[in-house]
Structure 1
Amino acid sequence: MSDEITHGGVVTSVDDSGIGRLTISRPERMNALDGGAHQAIEDTLAEWSTRDDVRVVVIDGAGGSFSAGADVRGFAERSTEGGASGFTREQARQIISGGSALLRAVRSVPVPVIASVDGAAAGIGASLALGADLIYTTARSYFLLAFVNIGLMPDGAASMSFATAVGRVRANELALLGEKLRAAEALDAGLVNGVVDDRAALDEVVGTVARKLAGKSAAALRLTKAALDAHTMAGFDAAIERELEGQTELLQSPEFQAAITAFAGASK
């Protein structure tokens, strides 16, 4: 196995069988994604996408969470730079562009991507998990499109990926009500491939699947993934653009400003 590299709160390695492992390691923040983590993930996936020796990618989170979403703690500080009205349009668009770039990086990986989900996959963390090709979770895990709860809308193509996975009516419920979808329900809804008891079992099943994929024809996997994506992910770019415009507007809204101000006050 290659040496582990730690950068921006992300730990990465590639083993001798061609399995690239990317672990979000900010457990003190439930693996919430700040700018450094975003950049580290994007840079790693871009580099792996050019390598013939990387045959499958596993994305997971350390410390009992997959990812709690965007690191909202920094939002309140940044929003004050825009004055009383909160974020400027340029700031808002830059923030949301980060989530868009993150999911573009995931979907640009030509080989299979596996999400190994233990604990919370919320906000952009849920979008990140749904950006994978295969998703396995522990029984205690859940998915949460929490955006509406703080005056926002889904981003990272979640408005498309959840609807594609579970259908229009169930996706409407998740996005409009902003309530948790537990692992067992996610399995029943067709959102995930498997649910296991605990972290040890998750590591075992994900490792087994990753090794099985790594042993198959790389060319066949790439072309098969591309063919499936042409149908199931056809709306990806349009979803990203709609979300980018909508979130840019909503990040400047009084409702979101009030929400992050309250969050900042509660976290002190």
Structure 2
Amino acid sequence: MTLNRPEALNALAPAQRDAVIRMLEAASADPGVRVVVLTGTGRGFCAGADLRGGAGRGVLPGDVARTLRVGAQRLVGAVLDCEKPVIAAVNGTAAGLGAHLALACDLVLAAESARFIEVFVRRGLVPDGGGAYLLPRLIGAHRAKELMFFGDSLSASEAERLGLVNRVVADGELAKTAQEWAARLAVGPTRSLALTKQLVNASLDSDRATAFAAEAAAQEINMTTEDAREGLRAFVERRGPEFRGR
């Protein structure tokens, strides 16, 4: 999935945002899709929501909250809830909602020229798109507040040091590395990856008893899949498994 408005640093207009949501939902339902890679064209990954439509003018009480629920929050939720692994290949600036879109992905690759910016404070805004949910869980409350309070541009190497990205690669190697990671995931046990993703995401809001119960239930469900049976057969037969995503 490639965001393709380079003249606007791939800022998301409502129609594009909704298209991304639909594609993520379709990826979950399509057994032929084994992994999703999300990237952008040009100098930007995503500059956030496109605000050129006059945001903030003459809004009625409830309008902003409603817009966020069906817009930015639904977008980030679609990434978190996608039943396939989602890789962000951050090719440039990821600002505001664009940063949260990247950080909601399961794995984050960043080009050396990439930048992450919690830009909201620069506009006198409160972070949206799940930022105050995602960042503390990734780097802790104090670091999250530092990024959100100051709105400084964070380099790819700094983001890697903080744990926001998995790996930084040379700009020219980003697409290649993303495809290599995607190829590895595409031949993996897709349903067990989906359940693993669900367990990890839910564990951040769970106590130990709840997390352990969820783990046991996920294992029970996963043992009904063809890939789990294939993995066990391959182990007994001392060969590599051939997973089919089912």
TM-score category (smaller protein): 0.7 to 0.9
The answer as to 2:139 corresponding to 1:160 is: no
Could you tell me which runs of 5 or more consecutive residues in structure 2 were left unpaired when the two chains were aligned: 207-246
One of 5, 8, 12 as aligned partner of 1:33: 12
1:168 Cα offset (Å): 1.5
With normalisation by structure 1, the TM-score equals: 0.73
* Structure 1 pair 52–233 and aligned structure 2 pair: CA distance change class (3 A): farther
SS in 2 for 1:28: helix
Distance 1:54 1:232 in 2: 27
Listed one character per residue, the Cα deviations across residues 115-140 of structure 1 (whole Å, up to 9, x for unaligned) are: 01011100000110011000000111
The answer as to 2:52 corresponding to 1:73 is: yes
- Give the % identical residues: 39
SS in 2 for 1:121: strand
AA of the residue aligned to 2:12: L
Indicate the residue corresponding to 2:60 in structure 1. 88
Could you tell me which runs of 5 or more consecutive residues in structure 1 were left unpaired when the two chains were aligned: 1-21, 235-268
Q: Is the 8 A contact 2:116 2:154 kept in 1?
A: yes
Distance 1:233 1:118 in 2: 31
**Aligned-residue CA RMSD in angstroms?**
1.4
The answer as to 2:169 corresponding to 1:190 is: no
The number of equivalent residue pairs is 205
Distance 1:226 1:94 in 2: 26
Distance 1:162 1:209 in 2: 24
Listed one character per residue, the Cα deviations across residues 12-70 of structure 1 (whole Å, up to 9, x for unaligned) are: xxxxxxxxxx1111111110011111111111111111111111111111112100011
Indicate the residue corresponding to 1:214 in structure 2. 186
1:95 Cα offset (Å): 2.8
1:153 Cα offset (Å): 1.2
Distance 2:180 2:54 in 1: 39
AA of the residue aligned to 1:26: R
The answer as to 2:21 corresponding to 1:55 is: no
Once superposed, which parts of structure 1, at least 4 consecutive aligned residues long, lie more than 4 Å away? none
SS in 1 for 2:127: coil
Counterparts in 2 of 1:224-243, with a 5 A limit? 224-232=196-204
1:219 Cα offset (Å): 2.0
Distance 1:165 1:110 in 2: 20
Q: Is the 8 A contact 2:4 2:41 kept in 1?
A: yes
Distance 2:177 2:47 in 1: 23
Bigger radius of gyration among the two: 2
Indicate the residue corresponding to 1:203 in structure 2. 175
1:233 Cα offset (Å): 6.1
Indicate the residue corresponding to 2:218 in structure 1. none
Distance 2:8 2:89 in 1: 18
Counterparts in 2 of 1:93-108, with a 5 A limit? 93-97=65-69, 98-108=71-81
Listed one character per residue, the Cα deviations across residues 160-218 of structure 1 (whole Å, up to 9, x for unaligned) are: 211111122111100111111110000111110000111x3000111000000111111
The answer as to 2:146 corresponding to 1:173 is: yes
AA of the residue aligned to 2:149: L
Distance 1:112 1:60 in 2: 14
